[in-house]
Structure 1
């Protein structure tokens, strides 16, 4: 038995914003962010919400699209998981609103999860394990969409201009084929747990605050090496433990937070650029959906086919990394 990623689709926001907007924005503050934005983060353009677009509208759109693409209806889904750092609504859960829009069956399990940017990858592992153990459930729909941009301080050059808006949806299906999650390992390092915080003083103070800065996402400088180096060691370990080498991997779908991180992993593992796709210059950084948009683009470009091995690596603020060895 295997859990097949049977279908994947992506929907992005409608407005395209180039680096020029952010370069001019920070020039007015006497800040030159070109090196950070282009060389470190690797940004060029990004898709941004129009006035009537939200994480919920994109989630509904991509969910309907992936179901159509898979020739399925909402009633064919047994589990629906929605991953986001901050949903459009806290109550009810966004998964319930998606349930309504997709007309899922009444006995479908629905829940939202927040593991920050690692959420969708963690959901993939957990739902794969759930489908294997469940006597009833056969299919799961996982949807991810983040909107960090609306939370951040426009004066913070570390993150303003970094994000883009795009939702991704995947369908997992219980099959008799040899496919799915092979191995997974996590790495938690809480030394930087105070570097990316929202709300900056907690929800207990959110409505008491009279300072607008305290209502924004707090993003302080931190060294990315503390999760890049462990990631490469975990990848090497997972490959060795499962009798594989880097040459057996068709694609490394890595976090799209910063091009600099991907380049460092390429260097440390001697991975070709063609096997570690970067799409952050087109989409911006999309948070929870970013490694799966990399997967989507790789499949679309013919770089991944059925039976190929894929490595996922991403991390959430705080921080928690996940490395996953996967057979597509």
Structure 2
């Protein structure tokens, strides 16, 4: 085990609430009936949005970070590392983690870096950071923040992306501990032959200032039917087995909230129920990198996860990156 303690986790979502009506009417004008698709396949009922004239992924991230600092009674001066996960950050230079550091008033001796592994970014950050925390004598407390504002880049002609997303940041503080909790095990894998299925910007950065048609910048998305849920379920079971655990030992499966049908299939394959695998995508929309962590936050809010409980995080991202984390809370 790589020991660490989750001191706190908080969520900040946009203030604008949208149901499916806007998107159903939008696609009806194209001759597409997406009501069943949105409700029963993707599992969307509503989603939170930010006002892009006033807010960004950075402002949401700062708000979530301030929330968790206040809730845990932590000073920004106590943070030895700040990590920001996003594949659509407000800025790529300077890193958003540096802007977070400035907004929070962090100390000078603080490692700041951004991570982009698309929807698996925050999970990957936690998996890597847990190991770094064990190896570093000088690092004690780390802030991990994630936020993706994806709908603004979605292709309005594609029902696979436009209207699917919601805007929400998640911030988590972890610290060293001698207690029996932390990262028990992890599994990373990638199916890179699917690298062209989801692409942003659609034209590539080298052509960013050459394109005359703004639609060429949009998120290019092919249907996600190739996601191998059977394979993910088998890998989850194998990970549990090598740690002498069974599905019944896991208090919560914090799974990707991208497609409700995928979660239903995972539930069937693992023989788990709704209380063991919360679905929040119907309320929040799909929030990308923060997706499974909003499930964890919700589980803690509702008292479904307690100290000493085992938690599994499973999610996937474009280029078909995949990650499973086995945690002891």
Category of TM-score, reference length = shorter chain: over 0.9
Partner of 1:167: 169
Return the offset for 1:282: 0.5
1:301 to 2:296 alignment: no
Return the offset for 1:213: 2.0
1:75 to 2:94 alignment: no
Partner of 2:3: 2
1:1-328 alignment to 2 at 5 Å?
Answer: 2-50=3-51, 51-226=53-228, 228-328=229-329
- Whole-angstrom distance in 1 between the partners of 2:155 and 2:227: 25
Q: Which runs of 5+ in 1 are unaligned?
A: none
Return the offset for 1:150: 1.0
Question: How many pairs were matched up?
Answer: 327
Q: Is this contact kept in 2: 1:256–1:280, CA < 8 A?
A: yes
- Whole-angstrom distance in 2 between the partners of 1:189 and 1:145: 24
- Whole-angstrom distance in 2 between the partners of 1:203 and 1:104: 32
Q: Which runs of 5+ in 2 are unaligned?
A: none
Residues 200-234 of structure 1: per-residue CA shift (max 9 Å, x gap): 121111211112221101001231442x1221011
- Whole-angstrom distance in 2 between the partners of 1:210 and 1:195: 23
TM-score, with length taken from structure 1: 0.98
Residues 5-34 of structure 1: per-residue CA shift (max 9 Å, x gap): 111000000100001111111111111111
Return the offset for 1:35: 1.7
Residues 179-217 of structure 1: per-residue CA shift (max 9 Å, x gap): 011000112102221110011121111211112221101
Deviating above 6 A after TM superposition, structure 1's stretches of 4 or more consecutive aligned residues are none
Return the offset for 1:104: 0.7
- Bigger drift between 205-214 and 85-94 goes to 205-214
- Whole-angstrom distance in 1 between the partners of 2:189 and 2:82: 26
Q: Is this contact kept in 2: 1:192–1:222, CA < 8 A?
A: no
Return the offset for 1:78: 0.3
- Whole-angstrom distance in 2 between the partners of 1:216 and 1:36: 22
Residues 22-59 of structure 1: per-residue CA shift (max 9 Å, x gap): 11111111111112111110000100012311101001
- Bigger drift between 30-39 and 282-291 goes to 30-39
Residues 271-294 of structure 1: per-residue CA shift (max 9 Å, x gap): 111101000000000000000000
- Whole-angstrom distance in 1 between the partners of 2:216 and 2:195: 17
Q: Is this contact kept in 2: 1:140–1:173, CA < 8 A?
A: yes
Q: Is this contact kept in 2: 1:187–1:230, CA < 8 A?
A: no
Residues 48-92 of structure 1: per-residue CA shift (max 9 Å, x gap): 012311101001101011000010110010000000012101111
TM-score, with length taken from structure 2: 0.98
- Whole-angstrom distance in 2 between the partners of 1:229 and 1:324: 17
Q: Is this contact kept in 2: 1:8–1:296, CA < 8 A?
A: yes
- Whole-angstrom distance in 1 between the partners of 2:224 and 2:294: 25
Q: Is this contact kept in 2: 1:146–1:167, CA < 8 A?
A: yes
Q: 3-state DSSP class of the match of 2:319?
A: coil
Return the offset for 1:153: 1.3
